[in-house]
Structure 1
């Protein structure tokens, strides 16, 4: 196979994996909206208390462990050796089961203490059920890593989508059942069972794939100098931490928010409902971050330390483009959600409770999108450990700020703490990246154009909202609210995009690279056409 064909297959595989990951993330964020509608804010609180554990298991299974295993497989492939059942699969699987088994044992036995920290002892069975998910993780994690290491992304992509789809369907079904039985605290157990069902579905996918062409040999092979434990434990977990910022922020809130609200004088039941209302913002943040960073992440595979030395100007362009697109999309998503939050809150969650604090929380999208983009760039340049340490620092900061702010500012304090911790990640990443992306280059970003485009979008949205109010068109059913909200979203997005183009924030070559970009070129100022 020649170099151009192998490069084509590599980029095709990377695109397939990115697309399946995007579908999975949208499903993962989207299903929590009907879940809240079915279970209410209290039921949503119960689910969100265990969601970070299930999310961490999912990230380990989809990104961390497969990345580590694929690194091992790539090293073996470079030596011209094959994968042996006895010499590769059994040791790798043993280490994965050992790590996941340890997490399960600690989590299962300490679930009661964890529930005490959360301020709700009745969460213990749900927490125990959530930790059982780790017992099945090693099998799909290993197989995903094997195929990724061989450059075959299709099995991983199919298994990801199958797992997420089955998981979402089962969790909605489980929620309907436990609500009908008035066993609201069992939502967590249902969620854990749904996650196990999703993992089993991914294993079944791999069984069908393996039956056609087993990716192993039976004889022993000598893999001298190959370190399973170092690669799986350190590389896998450090890679994972960079995908876990939002999850770990949610975990911190799960552990500290309700006790801090109770400390501030809020009644225990009311504190749990308030936590459920606050958690309405999490799927919106996740969706906003995914959409705002997806276009930028498409450029990331072109950024590596090796390419930086070989083609510095080209890689510099990729870095600048990634940051620029992420900034533009994140600013638009944050501003749009802040303005439209009353309608989105009522449309998705059936009332406008918590609108004010959710508006504040939407600023997290700006910093989390940039953090994801920066982390991916830094990983490509070899800063895996550094970026993981930054995330740990940010979570400690979030914990401290929650303890300091929530007793005085309640939910607003938690929102401010989340914004500050995400912003701290971006600042630290900028300092780490300054060798490749100096502070001077930040001034080349189209700040003025973005500001004017945001102002134009906000004015258009406020005018349209004001016209509806003057015409007395408030109220109506949920379908009419959906149509109205989608119309506002479209109007805001179109205004923002056209103003960005007219103000020169986007150039001809950038527009031509996106779908229907040739139609947008005509909006460019004369000097840029």
Structure 2
């Protein structure tokens, strides 16, 4: 295989993984809405308490360890030996089994720490998916090491579809059979385990369908420049942390929010409902972040290619455009969501509860999307461990601020803490980007024209909604959906119109817009 063919295959694979990941994130966000509708805020709270644990297992199996294995395999001069493969799978198995055992044994203490002993069975069940992590990650990493991203992408989509379907079925049966809502936590863990099993079977199908010559066992002496544990476990954890920013911030709420609310006088049931209300913001924020960062993530492989080819000018332009596009999309989504949140809350969750807290939480979309985009650029520059460390700092900030704000402001305080934590992570990433690219010009933004475009969109949408709002509450849910889609469409058109007419986009950025044929220079 020629070098040019290898590069083409690598970047094609990068795009396949990117778009599969985006679709998976969209699925992961959307199903939480019917889940909350089926089980109410308390059932949704129980799910959200268990999800971070199974989410960590999924990220390790999808992003962390496969990336570490593929990097290790790509660095080998010869085909990996059977001995090396065995060492990798043994280390992954020992590490994942230890995590699973610790989580299982400590489940009662973790549940008590969360302020709800009823979560014990769900936390214990969430130890199961970790047992499948080594095998799923191993095959994904081996395929990725050969620049074959299709098995990873296919197994990811199958895993998400199976997991989402099983969770919704579990929620439906729990309600219909009048079972304890805590069964949703157990069902979530079982569904994640089922999704992982199907993903593993999908990978095995790809494995046994590959050309026979790839089955040849080539025994060669190989040397690894770095410690194998560090290369696989250490690097894999660093990669995973970079993909778990929102998950880890959510985990801090899972550990602290209910206990802190109970300390301020709320009963367990009241605290559960309030936590469930705040968790309504998670799928909406995730959808906004996915929409805002999707273009940026799709541009990363091209930016990396330009860096590798030493085309500094175009590389610099890619970085600046990636950052600006993310800001424009994230800000538009955030302002629109804030303006329409009472109606969005009513449509999706049947009640307009906790709107102020959720509006504040929505601001996270801007800073999280920018953090993801900036971190992705830094990853292309080899700053994996540093960006993971920044996420850890942000999580510590979130934890400390929860203890400070929640006793005074309740779930509004938790929302403020999440926003400040995401700002902290973004600031650290931007500072690091400045350090590692000293020749990179400061990313310039037409702030006045950009903010003016946001204001025009916000005023237009708010004004129309103010006038037509009585109609919204007269419609059924389908009518309410149509009403909101119309307002969102008007908001998008007015925002893009202002961005173009006020020359917010550069000429190069206008050339890549999907509607560029409508724009006259």
The 2-side partners of 1:354 and 1:376 are apart by 33
Distance 1:71 1:518, change over 3 A: same
Contact kept in structure 2, 1:398 and 1:421, CA below 8 Å: yes
Map of 1:59-98 to 2, 5 A cutoff? 59-76=59-76, 79=77, 81-84=78-81, 86-98=82-94
Q: Distance in 2 between matches of 1:430 and 1:478?
A: 42
Cα pair 2:320 2:443 within 8 Å, conserved: no
Preserved CA contact (<8 Å) 1:140 1:199: yes
Change (3 A) 1:11 1:443: closer
Report the more deviating stretch, 362-371 or 172-181: 172-181
Partners of 2:70 and 2:176 in 1: how far apart? 44
Match of 1:289?
A: 289
1:245 corresponding residue in structure 2: 245
User: What are the superposed Cα offsets for residues 370-407 of structure 1, whole Å, 9 maximum, x if unpaired?
Assistant: 11111111111111111111111111111110001100
The alpha-carbon distance between structure 1 residues 96 and 313, as it changes in their structure 2 partners (threshold 3 A), is same
* Deviating 4+ runs (over 6 angstroms): none
SS at structure 2 position matched to 1:242: helix
Moved more, 379-388 or 19-28: 379-388
The equivalent of 2:508 in structure 1 is: 509
1:136 corresponds, among 110, 132, 137, to: 132
- Partner residue, 2:516: 518
Alignment of 1:302-381 (within 5 A): 302-304=302-304, 307=307, 310-381=310-381
CA 1:486/1:439 → structure 2, altered by over 3 Å: closer, same or farther?
farther
Q: Within 5 Å, which residues of 2 pair with 1:176-191?
A: 176-181=172-177, 182-191=179-188
Q: Distance in 2 between matches of 1:113 and 1:15?
A: 43
Q: Which moved more, 1:347-356 or 1:174-183?
A: 174-183
Structure 1 alignment gaps of length 5 or more: 523-528
Superposed displacement of residue 98, structure 1: 1.0
Decide which of 114, 120, 131 is 1:118's aligned counterpart. 114
Note the C-alpha offset of 1:100.
0.5
Residues of 1 paired with 2:56 and 2:471: CA distance? 47
Q: Which moved more, 1:221-230 or 1:59-68?
A: 221-230
Residue 15 of structure 1 corresponds to which residue in structure 2? 15
RMSD across aligned positions (CA)? 1.8
Answer yes or no: is the 8 Å Cα contact 1:82–1:216 preserved in 2: no
Match of 2:452 in 1: 452
Aligned counterparts of 1:269 and 1:439: Cα–Cα separation in 2: 56
What secondary structure is seen at the aligned counterpart in 2 of 1:444?
Answer: coil
**Following the alignment from structure 1 to structure 2, what is the Cα–Cα distance between the partners of residues 209 and 126?**
33
- Give the CA deviation at 1:441: 4.8
Partner Cα distance (1:399, 1:124) in 2? 22
For 1:195, the equivalent position in structure 2 comes to 192
Per-residue displacement from partner, 1:348-381 (whole Å, max 9, x unpaired)?
Answer: 1111111111001000001100111111111111
Task: Report the Cα offset of residue 305 of structure 1.
Answer: 10
| Equivalence for 1:525 | none
Residue 169 in structure 1 maps to residue 168 in structure 2: no
* Structure 1 residues 5 and 48: alpha-carbon distance in aligned structure 2, compared to 1, 3 A threshold: same
- In the superposition, relative to structure 1, how do residues 305 and 228 fare at CA in structure 2: closer, same or farther (>3 Å)? farther
Cα distance, 1:322 vs structure 2: 1.1
C-alpha separation in 2, matches of 1:439 and 1:362: 34
1:496 paired residue number: 495
Task: Select between 298-307 and 251-260 the one with higher mean Cα deviation.
Answer: 298-307
Aligned to 1:158: 154
| 1:87–1:222 CA contact under 8 A, matched in 2 | no
8 Å Cα contact 2:162-2:194 kept in structure 1: yes
Distance 1:438 1:331 in 2: 27
Residue 108 (str. 1) matches residue 100 (str. 2): no
Write the distance in 2 (CA, Å) between the matches of 1:303 and 1:511.
18
- Who is 1:278 aligned against? 278
So what's the TM-score if we normalise by structure 1?
0.94
State the match for 1:486 in structure 2: 485
**Structure 1 position 230 matched with structure 2 position 226:** no
Once the two structures are TM-superposed, the CA of residue 474 in structure 1 deviates from its matched residue by 3.1
Q: How many correspondences in the alignment? A: 517
Q: How many angstroms does 1:228 deviate by? A: 2.3
Shift of 1:446: 2.4
Structure 1 CA distance, aligned partners of 2:13 and 2:111? Answer: 42
Give distance in 1, aligned partners of 2:132 and 2:7.
Answer: 34
Could you tell me which residue of structure 2 aligns to residue 206 of structure 1? 203
Give the 3-state SS of the residue equivalent to 1:327 in structure 2.
Answer: helix
Matched residues in 2 for 1:359 and 1:166: separation?
A: 32
Structure 1 position 88, deviation (Å): 2.8
Shift in Å, 1:216: 4.2
Task: Report the Cα offset of residue 32 of structure 1.
Answer: 0.6
Flag the 1:464–1:306 CA change in 2: closer, same or farther, 3 A: closer
Q: Who is 1:127 aligned against?
A: 123
Classify 1:441/1:498 alpha carbon distance in 2 versus 1 (closer, same or farther; 3 Å).
farther
Structure 1 residues 110-131: Cα deviation after superposition (integer angstroms, max 9, x where no partner): 0111001100001001001011
Partner Cα separation in structure 2 for residue 7 and residue 224 of structure 1: 25
Say whether the 8 Å CA contact 1:87–1:223 is kept in structure 2: no
